[in-house]
Amino acid sequence: MADLDRFKDQRVLVTGGAGFVGCNIVRRLLNIGASVIVLDDFYTGKEDNLPIGHPKLEVVRGSVTDFDLVRRVVKASETVVHEAARNIIVSMRNPREDYEVNIGGTLNVLMAVREAGVRRMVYASSASIYGNPRYIPINEEDAANMLTPYSVSKFAGENYCKAFYESYGTSTAVVRYSNVYGIAQRPDNPYCGVVAKFFESAVAGEALHIHGDGQQTRDFTFVEDVTEATLLAALSPKAEGQVYNVATGYEASINQLARLIIEVTGNRVALDYVDRRDIDNIRRRVLNIEKIRRDLRWIPSVTLEQGLRRTFQWLQEAGGRKAEV
């Protein structure tokens, strides 16, 4: 999109920039011509997700829980994309760490952004804040219904963004991601999502393990579409103080996903139904994306089948080990 060319020669901080979504954002920014600082503690992120040595990339190893460090890297930036977080699996195992990173870390970033007068901070939130919705598709104004420590902390971050915008005039925008998958989602990461796990099993000729009956649905969103939406939210004046669903508006069951991955890989593996996990407490998910379409002129460009084929191509080329994106 032509609008993203405005990032050329900007200085952008991406927290969590060595992670799955973060590294895609970093590479997109570098391709546009931005200078990028990555702040990452490498809890789940990997150095080889990044083009180390790129002349416009600076990688800082550290945590968003370190306020002095956050202040330093924010001060050197014009725009901040805040992707750093403990994911849902880690959060379930250690709620206190979830609190310290997802809530405390976000507050640190906001305080530093306010102090430095940064042009815009985009906060990566999650559709998990909706829980089991009363109505489908889910609108941004629908009630939150947090069912996990992770969803509590992501919603707390959203509320801090709103409070800083309303109280101090800090320019923030919130993007609620829905089940992001795609290039650089590494199967060797024990915290990766269902798409990467299914691909890993299918390629190995092993059964796909489905938690529950497989009829639960999700709105799977390709990472390149998520990247575009996030960066548009960082630029558009209309996005200031706003919250946007970032999804496809298409509801797919886990059974459908499994069948598509079997078709894409060409390996006729079995489906193995196992007990559902504590995190598998959402029955249906599909989001309304009319607001972001109207405000930011963003619509997803990659269908689920297309995204899965592109993901499989990357896995074949990279061996599932390095994010050669």
Catalytic center residues = 150
User: Is the CB of residue 150 less than 8 Å from the CB of residue 191?
Assistant: no
Name every residue whose Cβ is closer than 8 Å to that of residue 256 and which is 6 or more positions away in sequence: none
- Give the sign of the dihedral formed by CA 23, CA 243, CA 246, CA 7: negative
Buried b (16+ CB within 10 A) or exposed e, 131-157: bebeeebbebebeeebbbbbbbbbbbb
Give the distance from CA 283 to its chain's centroid: 21
CA-CA distances (angstroms) from residue 222 to 196, 246, 319? 12, 10, 20
CA distance 61 to 81: 16
Beta bridge partners of 82: 15, 123
CA distance 38 to 322: 18
**H/E run at residue 109:** helix 105-116
User: Is the CB of residue 151 less than 8 Å from the CB of residue 139?
Assistant: no
- Pairing outcome for strands 217-218 and 180-181: unpaired
